[in-house]
Amino acid sequence: MKIFVAVDMEGTTGLERLEEIFRGLPGFDTFRQIMAGDANAVARGAIEGGATEVIISDSHGYMCNMHPDDILPGVQLRRGQLKRTWCQAKGLEGDCDAVIMIGFHAKAGTETGILAHTWITGFRDVRVNGDSVPEPSLNTLLAGDMGVPVIMLSGDNYVIEQASPILGDIEYVQLKKSVGFFEGEHLPIDRTRQLLRESAKRAVKAARGREPVVLKGPVSIEVDLSADASKDPALAQRPHDNISYTDGGYSGSSTLSDFEHIMRNNPDLSSPRNGTVAIETTRFMDAYKKLHKVLGDIYERDIENLIDIVADTEGYQRPDLANIIGDDYPLSEIGPRRA
């Protein structure tokens, strides 16, 4: 059995702060190891459940988070954005037998969800055929178009609640309870790793009986965006930001909202109302691919501003981590923790 594991970061064991999810910020090195360890726990469980091949896809941020040396020998790691056709599913193909998604988080607009967003903070809401969805739902429908079922999801309480209408009766692992955008109640690492491993084992054992979730066309994905660069900016967006990411023809005093920026760069999109773009296709995977393209138009600006403006690098503290991960627990599950 060939099992594909998509690994996001915000729903990782113990994680709750922006300073923990991007390279160069003070909590990143600890949590990249924890992210890899969660993935390794799932890989071990999948193998115990009958998997003969496991692919782990780094599916967060710039998608080079987990260090290759922190991944179990024999497990394939897919990382980076180069030649990434599918946003959170690099390496997913129709010959996979099942998909597992771990480390996921609440959708955009969830006020008390840890680091809640849908792909990017500039996306205010993402709807599929009228229904607001989190990231796991998008990935499940993509896998469904390939004939591959999703069998397990881990993260916080919100993402499980929000994704379950599409994902259905699968294995769910709640590692934390979100109580604020930067605050959660966390299970200790020895418990989360046990839950991930045991759930993956059960999920893979039962995978042959699972059916893919297929959305029959026509398909519509609508994305709400900021529509006025001066009055309604995206999180941490400067009024003139998008000018820096657009080719040619604009004076230094011009402003472009996310909505204007994306419409200028994607003339094939329609807009049912100001601030909303619509992708209309007959197959979901085509809409997913186009959504990934739209993401790229504001992605770099969005991420860089989170790092430069929102992150509190000097004030970052996590005194509760001692109770969550202890002093000597092997964060990656395969060796001593790095400083």
Question: CA–CA separation, 218 vs 222, rounded Å?
Answer: 13
Band the pLDDT of 255: cuts 50, 70, 90. confident
List the one residue out of 241, 316, 312, 297 whose CA is nearest residue 120. 297
Q: Residue 279 is encoded by which pair of tokens?
A: 């992708």
CATH tag, 2-119+134-214+316-325: 3.40.50.10780
Residue the block writes with tokens 């881990």:
154
Residue 173's pLDDT is: 98
Above pLDDT 70, what percent of the chain?
98
> Residue 231 pLDDT more than 90?
no
Residue 323: how many other CB atoms lie within 10 Å: 11
- Asked if residue 245 has pLDDT above 90, the reply is no
Query: How does the average pLDDT of the chain come out, rounded?
Result: 94
84: CB partners within 8 A, 6+ apart: 63, 90
Section 181-205 average pLDDT: 98
Pairwise CA distance, residues 2 & 95, whole Å:
8
Q: What is the mean pLDDT of residues 171-195?
A: 98
| DSSP state, residue 197 | H
> How far apart are the C-alpha atoms of 194 and 42, rounded to whole Å?
9
Those residues whose C-beta lies under 8 Å from the C-beta of residue 150, and which sit 6 or more positions away, are 98, 99, 100, 101, 136, 139, 140, 143, 167, 170, 210, 212, 213
pLDDT bracket for residue 251 (50, 70, 90): low
Predicted confidence at residue 248, as pLDDT, reads 66
What CA–CA distance (Å, rounded) separates 219 from 144?
A: 14
Q: What is the pLDDT of residue 52?
A: 98
Q: Strand 219-224 to strand 276-281: parallel, antiparallel, or no bridges (unpaired)?
A: antiparallel
Which element (helix H / strand E) includes 290? helix 284-305
Position 185 scores a pLDDT of: 98
d(CA 59, CA 21): 12
- Backbone angles phi and psi of 125, in degrees to 5: -165, 145
Amino acid identity of residue 303, one-letter, is I
Q: Which of 153-167, 232-246, 251-265 has the highest mean pLDDT?
A: 153-167
**pLDDT tens figures, 86-107:** 999 999 999 999 999 999 999 9
The arithmetic mean of pLDDT across residues 187-197, rounded, is 98
Question: Residue 252 has what pLDDT?
Answer: 56
Distance CA 302, CA 315 (A): 22
The band of 228, judged by pLDDT with boundaries at 50, 70 and 90, is: confident
H or E segment and range at residue 172: strand 171-180
Q: For 21-67, how does the pLDDT look when each residue is reduced to its tens digit (9 = 90+)?
A: 999 999 999 999 999 999 999 999 999 999 999 999 999 999 999 99
Rounded-to-integer distance, Cα 126 and Cα 287, Å: 12
Query: What are the structural domain ranges in the chain?
Result: 2-119+134-214+316-325, 219-310
Instruction: For residue 78, give the H/E element and its range.
Output: strand 76-78
Rounded Cα distance between 114 and 112, Å, is 6
Residue 126 has pLDDT above 80, yes or no: yes
135 half-sphere exposure, CB direction, 13 A CA radius: 33
- Please tell me the distance from the alpha carbon of residue 257 to that of residue 290, in angstroms, as a whole number: 20
Q: Which two tokens stand for residue 8?
A: 């996001």
What letter represents residue 111's amino acid?
Answer: E
pLDDT confidence tier of residue 256, bands split at 50, 70 and 90: confident
Question: Is residue 336 pLDDT above 70, yes or no?
Answer: yes
Whether residue 249 is predicted with pLDDT greater than 80 in this model: the reply is no
pLDDT class for 243, splitting at 50, 70, 90?
confident
Give, in order, the Cα–Cα distances in Å from 5 to each of 45, 89, 99, 276: 12, 9, 6, 32
Q: Closest Cα to residue 34, out of 177, 173, 192?
A: 192
Is the pLDDT score of 110 beyond 60?
Answer: yes
Length of the chain: 339
Q: Between vectors from CA 122 to CA 99 and to CA 87, what angle results, nearest 5°?
A: 25
Rounded CA separation 256/213 (Å): 38
Per-residue pLDDT at 240: 78
